């Protein structure tokens, strides 16, 4: 699956552990890790048998033995850290949300293009087997005219202090709501209308947000996200000829069932992969680099920017602002 790029990881937290674990399990080469402190980086390197540890992002970005970088820092720092990696001449995979807003996203994408480097949003769900099959079903027209998407991402994150702090990019929308919003973009493309309602905490971040995206065809994507309670975390795509119901937690490696318009099961998809499947997004970046292109077809940078614009509009509607 790997095309042989040598990876560095910027950030040594939980999401970095998940990504590196999947990459190593599937034969990718992780050669360096960088953090804001050498002790943290070295502990991470020791845990995963990574040869090099750096106490700054700039040091890793300057390493000639690193070809691509995975940015795993908290999202208020994504733009800054991605810029450091790009200035160091590295291809970059950036955790979602890609940046804090569309303006930041656009500046990073423009920088990557100016340096002829690949930059990719790490929306790992896009490349999971069940999502690949769902796109094929939609392309074949097996659901007929698709009229609706229903998706939620509701978790109880009350123990996660960062998510309750404005200065750290807290709130449900950017951490959790990004998943259903990106899913709607994957299926329907650009919305023609955006509605939202939220409940904000005393600190000014959204505890829960409901979203309806409308489309020129009259179809709708109906979504909910919250960080104070665990929901069903299912997703469904409804067409005139049938529907797809994705099991919880729908953005992970899970099964789905396709029904016809008489409510009869016509397909059951349940493909297993090792780990969480986060290696697929690293494989996508490596494939793009190997092809000599700067973007792939599944999530080009222009769509990442447009998704951030949708999130910006939702934030404007609900009054969610950041320092």
Q: Are strands 91-95 and 193-200 parallel, antiparallel or unpaired?
A: unpaired
Token couple for 110: 């423009």
Q: Are strands 68-71 and 6-10 parallel, antiparallel or unpaired?
A: parallel
Query: Residues 96, 115, 165, 272: which is the catalytic one?
Result: 96
Paired residues of 258 in beta bridges: 244, 267
Instruction: Determine how many CB atoms are found less than 10 A away from the CB of residue 38.
Output: 15
> Is 96 an active-site residue?
yes
Nearest to 176, CA basis, from 185, 195, 163? 163
**Are the C-beta atoms of 59 and 35 separated by less than 8 Å?**
no
Rounded to an integer, what distance in angstroms lies between the CA atom of residue 47 and that of residue 186?
36
SS (H, E, C) 181-194: HHHHHHHHCCCCEE
Q: What are phi and psi of 241, to 5 degrees?
A: -100, -5
- Run of H or E including 81: helix 78-87
Instruction: Determine how many CB atoms are found less than 10 A away from the CB of residue 271.
Output: 13
Sheet holding 91-95, edge to edge: 52-54, 29-34, 6-10, 68-71, 91-95, 119-122
Active site residue ranges: 96
């Amino acid at each position: 699956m790997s095309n042989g790029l040598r990876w560095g990881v910027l950030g040594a937290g939980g999401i970095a552990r998940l990504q590196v674990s999947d990459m190593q399990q599937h034969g990718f080469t992780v050669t360096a890790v960088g953090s804001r402190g050498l002790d943290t980086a070295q502990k991470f390197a020791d845990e995963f048998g990574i040869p090099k540890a750096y106490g700054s992002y700039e040091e890793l970005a300057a390493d000639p033995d690193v070809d691509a970088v995975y940015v795993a820092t908290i999202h208020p720092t994504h733009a800054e850290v991605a810029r450091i990696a790009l200035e160091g001449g590295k291809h970059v995979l950036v955790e979602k949300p890609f940046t804090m807003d569309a303006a930041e996203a656009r500046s990073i994408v423009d920088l990557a293009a100016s340096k002829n480097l690949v930059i990719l949003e790490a929306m790992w769900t896009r490349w999971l087997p069940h999502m690949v099959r769902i796109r094929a079903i939609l392309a074949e027209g097996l659901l007929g005219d698709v009229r609706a998407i229903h998706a939620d991402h509701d978790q109880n994150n009350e123990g996660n202090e960062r998510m309750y702090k404005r200065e750290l990019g807290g709130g449900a929308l950017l951490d959790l709501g990004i998943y259903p919003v990106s899913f709607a973009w994957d299926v329907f493309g650009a919305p023609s209308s955006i509605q939202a309602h939220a409940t904000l905490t005393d600190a000014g971040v959204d505890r829960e947000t409901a979203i309806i995206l409308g489309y020129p065809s009259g179809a709708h994507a109906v979504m909910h996200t919250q960080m104070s309670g665990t929901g069903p975390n299912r997703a469904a795509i409804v067409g005139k000829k049938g529907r797809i119901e994705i099991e919880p937690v729908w953005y992970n490696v899970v099964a789905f069932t396709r029904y016809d318009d008489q409510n009869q099961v016509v397909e059951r998809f349940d493909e297993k992969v090792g780990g969480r499947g986060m290696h697929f997004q690293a494989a996508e970046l490596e494939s793009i680099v190997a092809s000599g292109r700067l973007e792939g077809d599944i999530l080009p940078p222009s769509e990442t920017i447009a998704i951030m614009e949708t999130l910006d509009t939702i934030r404007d509607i609900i009054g969610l602002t950041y320092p």
